Structure 1
């Protein structure tokens, strides 16, 4: 009986021990499986993440996984999994870091595109507003031909609108220049891949601006010589900016046909130049004519300078021959127009627009001095010399008396 009890007791103990060992083994296996499951889920979450916010949550989950299973590191290392515990955590962190870098780049690019879209919308809106104002002013100018005072006021507003437009466009070009001049090919490629979302990109705006300038040149009746001179300077700056960043812009915003797009803009700039040329020289000649100066025909900067020289040479020669009061009046009229209008109001635009250089303006000034000397009537010159002589004599007498007075006191 005792033997039977002992055998039964031993059987129970062995059974309990075996069961406990099996339970322990099953528990260890479950830990290994749970770790692997959570590990794979985190890898999948990283792969599917699309925002940095989602990746921040995943980073916390990685930390939690490490904290939870760190005490079972040896058990996980002993499993048949290809990675050790530390290796698995390291893989998660490296994969997470790579995803953060990639998604951050995408988010930065999206921000750039959104900012660019907002900027282009703002530029287009302002240009449309200026165009609408200009159209309205042109209609009012055409309808006010019988009221000279009102028409003059409207023309002044029209020219102010053009000046405002030129300044706005110049600022826009300056911003493009600073933004894209130093952009490398990798940055161009990044923006290019997302630029298709833009309704209007910088190249579209540039084309619209040039077309608007061409229409303005061909259709406006309110433009005068200084407006065309200002437009020539604006065109020169436009070409300068396009030559600097045109290639970067077409590679960024027209990657499918960059050469064709660049040629289209080049052709528009050429058409704009032709439109300016067709109006500029005639308007300058008309302005001189309206102030009593009839210049020979000219159609370029060089021809304009030659026409001025020819006019002055002829005027000087006439003054040498006649030396009349009438010649002096002609000189004074030309000098007044040249000094107070051409140089004072147009001089800077002439230089910026490559109409006349500073040295050419100085050369005209020197010839004007020669003309003045020859045009001044001899009788007037004699009188002036007499006055100067008397003043010199009086000055000498005063000087001598002063010295004698000083010597007497000494």
Structure 2
């Protein structure tokens, strides 16, 4: 065989070695995807031992063709994956009840989530149709909003359930490889996708409907606050589990950006409609755009009214008090108090303070009655009569004294 033939034979031999290694490597990975028992883990370990023995003499060749990896790196990765899989199987055996319950719960939630997602798609189509129709009205909007509220509440509970269940498996004690293995049991795209869909649906709804009542907007505010609580408490932890590290920052950034947009939209809508509601009842509060400014504006209005009434109680002052009291006790407290408190916009103590100031305003606003004026006049007349009698008696006493002299 000539030199060229020897080179070709050597090339074919090297190529065959590389092909054989790739095939063996793929077989191990495929086996790791399906193994369920400790015995199957031992079989994979035996396969790895045979691979190391088989390719030990070809390490230099494989290092060249696998560059920038090496044979040792490839084998180490396979052993780490096998070890993580074995640990996971062992933990499943030790904590079988927890995992089984978790898997059953996940299957149930996934089925429900799919059903809700299908309903949400239908609702979004209705929202799009309503945007095109000038006949869309508040009643339709509230019905759709209630449907979306039901789905949003389910998604939040679903995330809570999944996260709590995984906490029971003691995620913090697992290695990154073990955590990745456990996360494979959930459709990662669904978890983060469902979370993001809550935000998207609410943004779409707020952009479409600006004619809702103050009560509706305050209720939506509470939904946003509850979602924020869930996201701040668990969002980043869920991303650690369900989003690949390479995409994690981008995915979190996208959701955070949408959450900020949602918060801005509901914040503007709620405070605007709340301010308009007071103005429509001839109650001119100082401008406000957040909870502190709103509470301060209420207190300032009442403090000024009390001071004004102290100086001059009148029928007009009573009428102003009655207008505010009717609106406060007839609309604000029965219809809005629950949502203002749920959204952390006011507290029960805040409402008690306003109630106490209204009582003081009512007392100070009352004009002096005619009866009081008559009584006061009679008292003055009586005082004058008594004074005259005293002066007359004094005059008579002085006259008798002069006569004796």
**If the TM-score is normalised by the length of the shorter chain, which range does it land in?**
0.5 to 0.7
Paired with 2:33 and 2:218, the residues of 1 have a C-alpha distance of: 58
Which residue, 114, 117, 120 being the options, matches 1:121?
Answer: 114
Aligned match of 2:156: 173
Paired with 1:231 and 1:253, the residues of 2 have a C-alpha distance of: 28
- In the alignment, is residue 325 of structure 1 matched against residue 315 of structure 2? yes
Aligned match of 1:403: none
CA distance change for structure 1 residues 318 and 201 in 2, over 3 Å: closer, same or farther? same
- Is the CA contact 1:188–1:248 (under 8 Å) kept in the aligned structure 2? no
Aligned match of 2:352: 362
Aligned match of 2:16: none
Paired with 1:382 and 1:345, the residues of 2 have a C-alpha distance of: 40
Aligned match of 2:180: 189
- Is the CA contact 1:226–1:346 (under 8 Å) kept in the aligned structure 2? yes
CA offsets per residue over residues 288-325 of structure 1, 9 Å max, x none?
01111111111111111111111112222332333221
Instruction: Give the C-alpha shift of residue 364 in structure 1.
Output: 0.6
Instruction: Give the C-alpha shift of residue 353 in structure 1.
Output: 0.9
CA offsets per residue over residues 311-361 of structure 1, 9 Å max, x none?
112222332333221221121111011012111110010011122111111
Q: Which stretch shifts more, 239-248 or 108-117? A: 108-117
Aligned match of 1:250: 239
CA distance change for structure 1 residues 193 and 171 in 2, over 3 Å: closer, same or farther? closer
1:196-235 to structure 2, matched below 5 A, reads 200-235=189-224
- Is the CA contact 1:331–1:375 (under 8 Å) kept in the aligned structure 2? yes
1:67-106 to structure 2, matched below 5 A, reads none
CA offsets per residue over residues 61-88 of structure 1, 9 Å max, x none?
xxxxxxxxxxxxxxxxxxxxxxxxxxxx
- Is the CA contact 1:177–1:244 (under 8 Å) kept in the aligned structure 2? no
Paired with 2:309 and 2:352, the residues of 1 have a C-alpha distance of: 21
- Is the CA contact 2:210–2:269 (under 8 Å) kept in the aligned structure 1? no
Q: Which has the larger radius of gyration?
A: 1
Paired with 1:190 and 1:381, the residues of 2 have a C-alpha distance of: 87
Instruction: Give the C-alpha shift of residue 217 in structure 1.
Output: 2.0
Paired with 1:362 and 1:101, the residues of 2 have a C-alpha distance of: 56
Q: Which stretch shifts more, 234-243 or 250-259? A: 250-259
- Superposition misfits of 4+ residues, deviation over 6 angstroms: 47-52, 107-113
What is the SS of the residue equivalent to 2:369? Answer: helix
1:104-183 to structure 2, matched below 5 A, reads 115=108, 117-136=110-129, 142-143=134-135, 154-183=137-166
CA offsets per residue over residues 378-403 of structure 1, 9 Å max, x none?
228959x9xxxxxxxxxxxxxxxxxx
CA offsets per residue over residues 179-223 of structure 1, 9 Å max, x none?
213414358533433556x7x512112112202212222331322
CA distance change for structure 1 residues 382 and 347 in 2, over 3 Å: closer, same or farther? farther
- In the alignment, is residue 301 of structure 1 matched against residue 284 of structure 2? no
Structure 2 gap ranges (5+): 1-30, 40-88, 376-405
- Is the CA contact 2:283–2:324 (under 8 Å) kept in the aligned structure 1? yes
Q: Which stretch shifts more, 238-247 or 130-139? A: 130-139
Aligned length: 280
- TM-score computed with the length of structure 2 as normaliser: 0.60
Instruction: Give the C-alpha shift of residue 175 in structure 1.
Output: 2.6
Task: Tell me the C-alpha RMSD between the 2 structures.
Answer: 3.6
Structure 1 gap ranges (5+): 1-46, 56-96, 145-153, 386-410
CA distance change for structure 1 residues 203 and 378 in 2, over 3 Å: closer, same or farther? same
CA distance change for structure 1 residues 314 and 112 in 2, over 3 Å: closer, same or farther? closer
- Is the CA contact 1:138–1:222 (under 8 Å) kept in the aligned structure 2? no
Paired with 2:313 and 2:103, the residues of 1 have a C-alpha distance of: 76
Aligned match of 1:344: 334
Paired with 1:170 and 1:321, the residues of 2 have a C-alpha distance of: 52
